[in-house]
Amino acid sequence: MSEPGGLFGGIFGRGADAGGADTSDAAWLQAMLDTEAALARALERAGLAAPGAGAAVTAAATAANFDPAELGRQAALTGNPVPALVRALSARLPEPAAAAVHQGATSQDIIDTAMMLLARAALDAVLARLGAAAAAAARLAAAHRDTVMTGRTLLQQAVPVTFGLVAAGWLTGIDEARTALAAVRRERLAVQFGGAAGTLASLGDAGPRVAALLAGELGLAEPVLPWHTNRVRITELAAVLATASAAAGKIARDVTLLAQTEVGEVREGGGDPAGRGGPGGPGRGGSSAMPHKRNPVAAVATLGCTRQVPGLLATLTAAAEQEHQRAAGAWHAEWQPLSALLRLTATAASWCADLLAGLEVDAGAMRANLDAAGGLPLAEHVATVLAARLGRLAAHDLVAEAAARSASTGRPFRDELAGDERVGAAGLTASQIDAALEPSGYLGAAAELVDRALAAHEQAESKLAGHAPGDRATGPAAGPGVSPEAVRKK
């Protein structure tokens, strides 16, 4: 685990500092206690617990009252920490309040519901940080709508594009990920309450009502059925987190490539190599061995997080195949990978927002790199112009031969074209060749596409405005939802 404050916490545990993606032992413990407290309140409202039991359990259900290490040691006896937690919590309560603890529940109900509470807080953190990243990407797209650079396919120069279009692509990926995350946050985070085998038999006819009340207490959706061995919610959650991670990773990978010394088209804002500060803080990007280095730390840290995500997603997907009414090990296999996935995605989103907010763009280097290719990235444009005169295939072959000669001899591509008698026979003048080789004249719909991405971003912002951190999803029978924090403060 890379919790905040740990040796690697500044790199991989940043998500908790970004606003709520805390999956530490303390956070897990508090989420389980919040679930037990909410259940006691639901039981009291259903008339199944003594008056005042809910408030008494809620007052005692504070993580600081318990020792996570001791609960962990006792978990080895039962396969999970809930039985020990129930005993410890009950011991802090007088009768009849103690009788309300864990009534009607099974251990998986408590852990799965706690998982949903942690996921909700983490999704809020991810959405907030991706929102900041999207805003920064939108600014870059608008500012560089017409900044010409070379496009690259298979890591080779292709045809001209604009940096605005590159940033617009980043923006669209982020916004699509945000939309998917918000949908899962809104619709798929559900309470788990089914009792021993999903029938709620120990509560008799009151079971469904208690489940609905529990959902309302926690502000989680009420599912159609308990989902003990139906892990679709978990795989959906994992998948949207992985998608968000991929969107951040794509941006970070592009930046590392564009920031290479030999390319130099972008760089991260930050301290200079001597450690004199800057937007990224003193010493940002410095090397322990090479004083001249200015490393793309935010991009590298983003990738350090996102590279771990596919394995976590694979584990959670594999664990979704579960036996009968309770899994033999697969459920246990979810806890740590999902915790790590929540933390790493929030951390990657935080680094990505930092990266984009401080990104420095060198338009001069972009144009210089494009010009250094000697016009070859405009070969497609020349072939298109000649196709109207010679036919598509003949024009393609002529331009390909001229490009090959230019690459092998070092003679300018323009001169190879101008010296080809077939070009002259086709009536293409020197000025027309120059026009065909001008990058700004072969950008197609780049500007329009940037505008479309920015307009779509505005629409996404409007739709996502209804989601704000702290909103509580509710099920069909759920009440307005009361945060556990607010209840404990009463």
Nearest-CA neighbor of 349 among 153, 63, 132, 47? 132
Burial 390-411 (b: 16+ CB within 10 A, else e): beeeebbebbeebbebbeeeee
CA–CA dist 300, 249 (Å, integer)? 9
Give the integer Cα–Cα distance in Å for 387 and 426: 10
148 φ/ψ angles, rounded to the nearest 5 degrees: -80, 140
The greatest distance separating any two alpha carbons of the chain, rounded to the nearest whole angstrom, comes to: 102
Nearest to 402 by CA among 387, 425, 422: 422
| Closest by CA position to 39, among listed 180, 210, 200 | 210
What values do phi and psi take at 150, rounded to 5?
-85, 140
Rounded-to-integer distance, Cα 450 and Cα 310, Å: 30
- Assess whether 287 carries a catalytic annotation: yes
Query: Residues 232, 238, 244, 249: what is their CA dihedral angle, to the nearest 10 degrees?
Result: -140
Contacts of residue 62, Cβ cutoff 8 Å, sequence gap at least 6? 30, 33, 488
How far is 422 from 389, CA to CA, in rounded Å?
10
**Identity of the amino acid at 258:** L
Q: How far apart are CA 89 and CA 85, in angstroms?
A: 6
Given the residues 139, 209, 326, 405, the one annotated as active site:
326
391: phi then psi, degrees, rounded to nearest 5: 100, 150
Q: Could you say which of 287, 392, 440, 452 is catalytic?
A: 287
Q: Could you identify the residue written with the tokens 């040796």?
A: 7
Catalytic (active-site) positions: 287, 326
